[in-house]
A and B are shown apart, each in its own frame.
Chain A
Amino acid sequence: DAGITQSPRHKVTETGTPVTLRCHQTENHRYMYWYRQDPGHGLRLIHYSYGVKDTDKGEVSDGYSVSRSKTEDFLLTLESATSSQTSVYFCAISGNNEQFFGPGTRLTVL
């Protein structure tokens, strides 16, 4: 299995608070991705990174920011969480023409 972990695995937070989710890989892959998964919408790309300090927006980037200061870590930040950001968040890395997904983070914004 690809070495990819996410933390925390579950989080409950209040509207308006900042939240940071962490994705860590041990595969030294260049590309990393953040998705959110909601019923009826499948997996939607939030942001992705193609190298240290190199990031780009995905389909649903509003309200999210990312940072990648090291190859192994990709952080997703919700500056001011809203209830519409309640979702399951998956991180993925890309290698050999396939994406490997982390275990996911279930985020609930009250």
Chain B
Amino acid sequence: QQPVQSPQAVILREGEDAVINCSSSKALYSVHWYRQKHGEAPVFLMILLKGGEQKGHEKISASFNEKKQQSSLYLTASQLSYSGTYFCGTEILGATDKLIFGTGTRLQVFP
């Protein structure tokens, strides 16, 4: 039931782009994206709702393909501050009072 994230890890130079994918086997109502820095709590980035449009946050945007139950997070022109572990959290249709999180994608950005 846990969504699958890919890749598990990404290494970038500043200014490069990355895509993180999240795939569920269940019909979804929404997908949430969070970023967690080492030793800290996860922080909300954005939510994509069923029937909603693509969202954006600074140079980070995301899409939600309802038919495939997949979401992708796009990081463009990466900055050092983007380093951390990214988690997708999914709300399953019929059980929208809780999130099921993926196992995370570790992103490292170097100068």
Interface residues of chain A, those whose CB is within 8 Å of chain B, are 31, 33, 35, 40-45, 48, 50, 58-59, 90, 97-104
Interface residues of chain B, those whose CB is within 8 Å of chain A, are 1-2, 30, 32, 34, 40-44, 47, 49, 87, 89, 97-104
Give the interface SS of chain B, mostly helix, strand, loop or mixed: strand
Across the interface, do B103 and A40 meet the contact criterion of CB distance under 8 Å? yes
Across the interface, do B99 and A50 meet the contact criterion of CB distance under 8 Å? no
Nearest chain A CB to B36 CB, angstrom units: 9
Give the interface SS of chain A, mostly helix, strand, loop or mixed: strand
Roughly how many angstroms separate A102 CA and B97 CA in the complex, as a whole number? Answer: 19
Closest 5 CB pairs of A and B: A101-B41, A42-B103, A43-B101, A98-B44, A42-B104
New A-B contacts (6) at CB < 8 Å, excluding given A59-B2, A101-B43: A48-B97, A59-B100, A99-B99, A101-B41, A103-B41, A104-B41
Across the interface, do A99 and B103 meet the contact criterion of CB distance under 8 Å? no
Find chain A residues with CB under 8 A from B103 CB: 40-42
Across the interface, do B42 and A48 meet the contact criterion of CB distance under 8 Å? no
Cβ contacts A to B, 19 pairs, < 8 Å: A33-B98, A35-B101, A41-B103, A42-B101, A42-B104, A44-B2, A44-B101, A45-B100, A48-B97, A97-B47, A98-B32, A98-B44, A98-B47, A99-B32, A99-B99, A100-B44, A101-B43, A102-B41, A103-B41
Find chain B residues with CB under 8 A from A98 CB: 32, 44, 47
Across the interface, do A99 and B44 meet the contact criterion of CB distance under 8 Å? yes
Roughly how many angstroms separate A101 CA and B103 CA in the complex, as a whole number? Answer: 17
Find chain A residues with CB under 8 A from B43 CB: 101
Across the interface, do B87 and A48 meet the contact criterion of CB distance under 8 Å? no
Nearest chain A CB to B15 CB, angstrom units: 28
Nearest chain B CB to A107 CB, angstrom units: 15
Roughly how many angstroms separate A35 CA and B99 CA in the complex, as a whole number? Answer: 10
Most B CB contacts (10 A, CB to CB) among A43, A59, A99 go to A43
